[in-house]
Structure 1
Amino acid sequence: MTLPTHSESSSQQLAENAAPYTLWQLALYMLGLGAWGFGGPVALVGYMYRDLVERRNWFTEADYKEGLALAQLMPGPLAAQLAIYLGFVRYRLPGATLIGLAFVLPSFVMVVALGAAYKAFGGLAWMQAVFYGVGACAIGIISISAYKLTVKNVGKDKLLWGICAVSATVTFVTQSEELWLFIGSGVLVWLLRAPPKWATGGKLRSVAAPVVGFFALNGLDWERLAQIGRYFAYAGTFVFGSGLAIVPFLYSGVVKEYAWLTDLQFVDAVAVAMITPGPVVITTGFIGFLVSGFWGAVVAAIATFLPCFLLTVIPAPYFKKYGKAPALVAFVDGVTAAAIGAIIGAVAVIGQRSISDGVTACMAVGTAAVLLRFKKLPEPVVVFVAALSGLAIYPWVQAR
């Protein structure tokens, strides 16, 4: 390991002293985002851009784009990885650790509480009504986030628009995010706009919880916990893409292979993830709770998020060190365009599932219109109104 020189250490110290935020300020922001950030990974990365880049100027465009590109290239939950990377930018490993915990903790506490209620009362029938409204509202929120990301990062660049369109189409058709598409897009823009010396010839241009007992350690099924840990670690390590990609993978494992949950219980678990703030992948905590109580939730959540944490902080220094190189800038531009296209495709896929009739279509469009008109309106207020609307309207829709 090469130790930094005195001048390098001094430069880093000056950069940290000049940071427009402290680690605790960033941690409090991520804690808040984890507590009120509805709309899934697309909306969450949009909130981070709006709040941390546009409004507060805590991070540069380059920091954000590097983090988004790295999050897309590595397996695991998109929003959590971006948050971890942003924590790493100024405060390295301690920052990445604290920010990751702050971002995930609120939604974990919520799904554990909902899991306890679910087991105590035999299901969450009311959730269908809430999700009827919140799901449609989320589509409006996600659409606005995707629009802003597209305008800001793609602009009028025809090459990036082409990549964005292809990525959106592939995501919509396959209903998953393809790693090869992100990498290929980055390589394409790199070769066309900042080609290495060996590739500058003419040929290149032709290449296209209610009781304390939940926390007790006695009576645990250690074999089952180990099985949960192995499975969710595999999911966190080898499943690329956001919550949209991991849901079908989880279904094949927890319902089909291990039979830990029924189809109805799995659908309820996904609904819990969608109506609670924070990363959609936190549904693993709810599933773990149903399978093996509180410690099942802890093991499932840690096993899911630990791989993405390691696969973010390990390559992060190289992204920072070489992030200004023209080749990497071009590569990141290509990956970012593909990522935004995947986000647009995901909006269409999720919309198919959340917009089921004229009422939900109107709610989605209305949400987008309200957010465009009232730019400072907090999203939690919109989501709360949508939840109340769902509770009021869903019984009427079902009775028709």
Structure 2
Amino acid sequence: MSETLEKGFAPAEAGAHGVPLSEAVRVWARIAALSFGGPAGQIAVMHRILVDEKRWIGEHRFLHALNYCMLLPGPEAHQLAIYIGWLMHRTAGGLIAGALFVLPGFLSILALSYVYALFGNVPFIEGLFFGLKAAVLAVVLQAVFRIGNRALKNTAMLVIAGAAFVAIFFFRVPFPLIIAVAALVGFIAGRSGSPMFRLGGGHKAGTGRILEDKDSLLGEETPHTQANLTASLKSSALLAALWLLPVAALWISLGPDNVFTKIAVFFSQMAVVTFGGAYAVLAYVAQEAVQNFGWLRPGEMLDGLGMAETTPGPLIMVVQFVGFMGAYRAPGALDPLVAATLAAMLTSWVTFLPSFLWIFLGAPFIEKLRGNPALTGAMSAITAAVVGVILNLAIWLALHVLFREVDERAFGPLAVEVPRLASIDLASLALTALAVIGLFRLKVSVVATLAVCAAGGIVWTLLTGSVAT
């Protein structure tokens, strides 16, 4: 390994900001353990600890990093942890912060996946996930309103969101194609100077007095943040190899039809196109995992969402459950649990490793991206399209949560899922209504809403002895 690459991976001396790497490890572990509530909650936890409490980084620099992460595919909270870890202790700090951020969630979902695969037909477990499905539907509906209020500020954004919804709901247009078209439209409009394609400002992560960058321990400048094309390309090439070589090895050794190869290729593709957060891409993942690959049944995707919502870490970790169940049902010569465990690890590897690549490659050049009107226009259009995609996810979830039977009907080139009204599940409807009231009216936290609905599902199942399928 070259001297440049070694320097890139060496931790910064504590004297640069006075924070030893050992202390940073403890802080990142604490943040990881508290990272519930989706990206907004995770970002708020990082802001409270890193900006307000530890004063490691200033407000402007925190938001600067966040805005860059929001331009990238993948979970922005995870990437923000990597970015700040890199700012503090170079690449070693970024690797540690990013790994610790996903570790608690990985272990939690893996344990729940074992329980689900082995004891999923136990009434208590069935009731737990029956209640979680209703709560997840309400959480997704909340995401539609929250993101829509922020993104759909004018007619152009409304049109893009509506077109994205029609494309994916009625015509089954692939999610990556929708994102690509929206980005192209926004790029052209932004470059032309259209005022309707400007982002509406950054995320407001905290309140109170703003900690200026010069007052933070990190300060305004750190030598290793200066753009160094050679070092960035070398470290990024290593990360790209760690990501893609295992995928290529699986393709060559097992063939394209093996479940491990399909998992590696599919979720590697998802890592490149997951703009707009997990809710946007989950509609596409659910569609492919259920209808194309047959890894899951519709209700099981909702169960996985319930797991991800109730455990720490990025919501996109639900894909770990998808890979687990896919290999569990097609283990080949392996023991089903061994195959499922390996698939969960593989899914997480190809999902989260690219986030390190995007940060280490692009972070040194972040200043060059600020204020670019064409890039801003592209991201505005993508965000608007994401609203339409999430609305599709909300409707898809509602159909499979509230009704026991759903038919697919074709009208020429259109394909629409239509519920059988007589199959409505009143218990699920009641739990969903309770979750909606809690989230929208009473402003109850997501975790509390999930807990109440899970308890309701357990009670209902134990009393009646059955749940919806």
TM-score bracket, normalised by the shorter chain, equals 0.5 to 0.7
Match of 1:308 among 348, 351, 360: 351
1:247-262 mapped onto 2 (5 Å cutoff): 247-251=286-290, 255=294
1:365 correspondence with 2:411: no
Q: Structure 1 residues 66, 369: closer, same or farther in 2, change over 3 A?
A: farther
Counterpart of 1:87? Answer: 81
Counterpart of 1:245? Answer: 284
Kept in 2: contact 1:136–1:360 (CA 8 A): yes
Count of equivalent residues: 339
Kept in 1: contact 2:299–2:400 (CA 8 A): no
Distance in 1, Cα, partners of 2:25 & 2:162: 37
1:380 correspondence with 2:447: yes
- The farther-off stretch of 305-314 and 384-393 is 305-314
SS in 2 for 1:70: coil
Kept in 2: contact 1:87–1:95 (CA 8 A): no
1:151 correspondence with 2:149: yes
Kept in 2: contact 1:112–1:286 (CA 8 A): no
Q: Structure 1 residues 16, 348: closer, same or farther in 2, change over 3 A?
A: farther
Counterpart of 1:67? Answer: 69
Instruction: Mark the runs of 5 or more structure 2 residues left unpaired by the alignment.
Output: 5-13, 52-58, 195-252, 275-280, 309-314, 404-424
Distance in 2, Cα, partners of 1:96 & 1:174: 41
SS in 1 for 2:369: coil
1:333-344 mapped onto 2 (5 Å cutoff): 333-344=380-391
Q: Which amino acid aligns with 2:30?
A: L
Q: Structure 1 residues 365, 22: closer, same or farther in 2, change over 3 A?
A: farther
Counterpart of 2:138? Answer: 140
Please state how far the C-alpha of 1:233 moved relative to its aligned partner. Answer: 1.1
Q: Which amino acid aligns with 1:331?
A: A
Counterpart of 1:204? Answer: none
1:318 correspondence with 2:315: no
Return the TM-score normalized by structure 2: 0.59
Please state how far the C-alpha of 1:85 moved relative to its aligned partner. Answer: 1.7
- The farther-off stretch of 163-172 and 293-302 is 293-302
Q: Structure 1 residues 106, 177: closer, same or farther in 2, change over 3 A?
A: farther
Kept in 2: contact 1:289–1:296 (CA 8 A): yes
Distance in 2, Cα, partners of 1:398 & 1:106: 32
Counterpart of 2:395? Answer: 348
Counterpart of 2:179? Answer: 182
Task: List 4+ stretches of structure 1 deviating above 6 A.
Answer: 13-18, 53-59
Kept in 2: contact 1:167–1:342 (CA 8 A): yes
Q: Structure 1 residues 304, 322: closer, same or farther in 2, change over 3 A?
A: farther
Q: Which amino acid aligns with 2:455?
A: L
Compute the RMSD of aligned alpha carbons: 4.2
Higher percent of residues as helix = 1
Match of 1:131 among 94, 117, 129: 129
Kept in 1: contact 2:134–2:401 (CA 8 A): yes
Counterpart of 1:217? Answer: none
1:234 correspondence with 2:265: yes
Please state how far the C-alpha of 1:281 moved relative to its aligned partner. Answer: 0.6
Q: Structure 1 residues 162, 134: closer, same or farther in 2, change over 3 A?
A: same
Q: Structure 1 residues 323, 397: closer, same or farther in 2, change over 3 A?
A: farther
Aligned residues with identical type, % of pairs:
14
Kept in 2: contact 1:139–1:347 (CA 8 A): yes
Distance in 1, Cα, partners of 2:99 & 2:129: 27
Distance in 2, Cα, partners of 1:107 & 1:228: 23
Please state how far the C-alpha of 1:389 moved relative to its aligned partner. Answer: 0.8
Counterpart of 1:389? Answer: 456
Instruction: Mark the runs of 5 or more structure 1 residues left unpaired by the alignment.
Output: 4-12, 38-43, 72-77, 201-222, 256-260
Distance in 1, Cα, partners of 2:396 & 2:292: 22
1:27-176 mapped onto 2 (5 Å cutoff): 27-33=29-35, 36-37=36-37, 44-48=38-42, 63-64=65-66, 66-71=68-73, 78=74, 81-92=75-86, 93-94=91-92, 96-117=94-115, 123-154=121-152, 156-174=153-171
Q: Which amino acid aligns with 2:320?
A: I
Please state how far the C-alpha of 1:386 moved relative to its aligned partner. Answer: 0.5
Kept in 2: contact 1:228–1:296 (CA 8 A): no
Distance in 1, Cα, partners of 2:26 & 2:326: 31
Please state how far the C-alpha of 1:390 moved relative to its aligned partner. Answer: 1.1
SS in 1 for 2:160: helix
Return the TM-score normalized by structure 1: 0.68
Please state how far the C-alpha of 1:120 moved relative to its aligned partner. Answer: 5.4
